[in-house]
Amino acid sequence: MTGVLTADAIAPASGPGAGVIKSGYDPALTNGDLAPLRTQTWTGYNFFAFWMSDVHSVGGYVFAGSLFALGLSAWQVLLALVVGIAAVYWLCNLVARPSQQAGVPYPVTARIAFGVRGANLPAVIRGLIAVAWYGIQTYLASAAFVLLAIKFDPSLSRYGNADDYGFLGLSLLGWAGFLLMWALQAAVFWNGMEAIRRFIDFCGPAVYAVMLALALYLVVAAGWQNVHFDLASGPPKTGFAAAATIVSAIALVISYFSGPMLNFGDFARYGRSFDEVKRGNFLGLPLNFLFFAVLVVCTVSAGTTVIGRDADGTAITDPVLIVDKIDNTTAAVLGVLTFAIATIGINIVANFVSPAFDFSNLAPTRISWRAGGMIAAVGSILITPWNLYNNPGTIHDTLDTLGAVIGPLFGILIADFYFVRRRTIEVDDLFTLSPAGAYFYRGGINPVAVAATAVGAALAIAVVIWGSTYLASFTWFLGAGIGFVLYLLGMRSVPAHVIYGRSRSAPSVQ
């Protein structure tokens, strides 16, 4: 860290950990949750467990299963998975370095490129996306509890009818499951980052153990000869069609992880060293994800023999539906509970911690990390995510549009830290509103970063709205590329007085 000042205070260990608040830090930009950490203690195993929790979810199973059903052969799917997850590993390492180096979460790191006030733009964007996905993941996991309740007491099924016993489009039983999941996640979050670390350290391996047992149960019941690594229906794709589908599958893998990639700085800040972060990422991404994918295809393939296919003849990839149809009550209960726990893990690490930092960044003196998280949690109820999820048009217009904005934020972060700033961070300047600060720019806002975000997001959103389904899988790349190029060109060619104001001269830009 550069420009070190005498520490005025070490904030008491709170939700996300103890931060060092130094003299000269402006209260409008600082609280104990956003300040640089006093100690960074996470090891490679902690990041490995983080990715285990992030990958192992209902959505993860459905996504991985869908890749095997694109009409590709097994080796083609494997190729797409290897290339895609290797790219995710590399990109996550790029995002991790600035936050680990400075010991601050993403909204503070974003001040480097956007300015100390302008960083509220990416914080709001990221917060809104996380609230929407948090609600949807909570709703999907709550379905496991609903199925479990009906399995034990079939008479409860009448309360699962939203028309007779419902409110705002969700049945009484659905509300019970949703609020139970909501409360469990809030309880883990409220106990702070150390509790979250312990939770994912335990749940990552525990979920794998149970899912291995479930896969073995299904494989034994089906017979190994009935387990196939090709889940595609119809003739296999060849030539240009196969190549185009492989490229699309690679893009889907990267896009699926685009949210966790941008959020990863919120966790990388805790890394004991950057080498620990990279070690955990290698174990948790290439190795973990490939093993997970094999586990998925074994479970889904064996499941088609044991429980059959759905009404239109396609393989069932939703693990909650798979375990619900198993005749063995013990296996079904264990599977449902496992997926509920797994979803709590991914929802907390992907969609709870990050908006907590984002909303705290908007008003540090009034919104703590815990308060920011609870704002996100309450917002996840108000958007009635079951209506969002059950309306394909609405979820397309809302989530895909918001998700398209992630790309420019990623591209700008990489362009600024690695190509403009050359990996240097004036940590103390991240917390000052002095016009002499390195990240004050013009009134606290970098107009180049704002413009690059707007243009990149607009073009990516245009592809989502008017482009084909195939092109929509590349919106993250489009947004990231445009954001990267426009920001780099802008910082090198736009006059300094436009970026920094007439009283400032531009820093050295390589």
Q: Identify the domain containing residue 47 by its residue range.
A: 31-392
Q: Provide the number of structural domains found in the chain.
A: 1
In a domain, 413, yes or no: no
* pLDDT confidence of residue 251: 86
pLDDT score of 93: 97
Q: Which of 94-103, 327-336, 381-390 has the lowest mean pLDDT?
A: 327-336
Please check whether residue 478 lies inside any domain of the structure.
no
Q: What is the rounded CA–CA span in Å between residue 500 and residue 510?
A: 17
- DSSP reduced 3-state for 171: strand
Q: Where do runs of H (alpha helix) occur along 327-366? A: 329-351, 353-362
Q: Both tokens of residue 291?
A: 């093993």
Task: Quote the pLDDT of residue 3.
Answer: 41
214-225 per-position pLDDT tens digit: 888 888 888 888
Mean pLDDT of 43-64: 81
- Cα 227 to Cα 187, 290, 304, 317, 324: the distances in Å are 40, 18, 9, 14, 20
Q: Is residue 68 part of a domain?
A: yes
Is-contact 493 452, C-beta < 8 A? no
- Report pLDDT digits (tens) over 435-452: 999 999 999 999 999 999
Question: pTM value?
Answer: 0.86
Mean pLDDT of 473-477: 86
In-domain check, residue 464: no
Rg of the Cα atoms in the chain: 23
Q: Would you say residue 297 lies in a domain?
A: yes
The tokens for 252 are: 């889907």
**Which stretch of 37-51, 133-147, 171-185, 478-492 has the lowest confidence by average pLDDT?**
133-147
pLDDT of the residue at 393: 58
Q: Is residue 374 part of a domain?
A: yes
Mean pLDDT of all residues in 149-163: 83
pLDDT for res 206: 78
Inside any domain, residue 182:
yes
**CATH at 106:** 1.10.4160.10
Mean pLDDT of 382-410: 75
Residue 492, SS3 per DSSP = helix
Q: Please, which residues have CB within 8 angstroms of residue 110's CB and are 6 or more apart in sequence? A: 119, 122, 123, 409, 413
Within a domain: 507: no
Q: Once rounded to an integer, what is the mean pLDDT over residues 474-492?
A: 94
